Amino acid sequence: MDSQRWLPLEANPEVMTKFVNCLGMKPSWQFGDVFGLDPEPLSMVPRPVCAVLLLFPETENYETFKKEEQERLKSQGQEISNVYFMKQTIGNACGTIGLIHAIANNLAHLEFEAGSALRKFVNETVSMTPEEKAAFLEKDESIRVAHESSAQEGQTEAPSRDEKVNLHFVAFVNVGGHLYELDGRKSFPIVHGKTSEDTLLEDAVEVCKAFMKRDPQEVSFTIIALSKNSN
């Protein structure tokens, strides 16, 4: 049972960028929409891209796949490098956990203000287990307050904390030349093969297509990229 519930975060790049800026990440990188999966719309996304977020519907098909995937990977194993991964124990916090996964695995690219609450959180939790990171987030007031404020800034009215929300965020990052799917509701990171700084967006989109293919009747998919600010 979730010990806490937050307001769901809208899949809105402006809100997300403002959220991480409030927590002390400098605006040298920003979130932006990915408007299509074909080469032309992908070519319009500012480069480089250091993380991709996917918002998708948690359907019965997905839950069945997730269970089968977990059993398969537990039996066959996967090689996981030094990835920052945390569990989700707070209801509706998947958006913030997706942002933390995107940022914590890209510290070499991103810049932070002195005293950044976000950088402080990552520094203090980096050597913790995924479960310990989750417990630490439950007590982090600065991130909770920024999340609650951001959740009310979207273009649509935020649902209540107790309303059932079947949309979920996951993050895709490049660590050590491998594409990782990071989902706090899963037991461990998922490795999706090789990637690079140049191909991260295209490689992540291929995995997003697999999510969509599993539920072709669903339309509630949103892809957001964390890109270098070209301004």
> Which is catalytic among the residues 94, 101, 147, 208?
94
- Supply 230's token pair: 């070209």
Longest dimension (CA), the chain: 47
> Which is catalytic among the residues 50, 101, 147, 168?
168
- Describe the chain by its helix, strand, coil percentages, rounded to 5: 40, 20, 40
Per the rule left: phi > 0, alpha: psi between -120 and 50, beta: everything else, 18 is: alpha
Instruction: Mention every residue, 6+ apart, whose C-beta is less than 8 A from residue 57.
Output: 166, 167, 168, 215, 218, 220, 221
How many CA atoms does the CB half-sphere of 30 hold within 13 Å?
15
Q: Would you call 94 a catalytic residue per the annotation?
A: yes
Among the listed residues 24, 228, 18, the one whose alpha carbon sits nearest the alpha carbon of residue 118: 24
- Supply 60's token pair: 């019965």
98-to-22, 39, 76, 103 alpha-carbon distances in Å? 16, 25, 26, 9
- CB atoms under 10 Å from CB of 67, counted, come to 10
Which residues are known to be catalytic? 94, 168
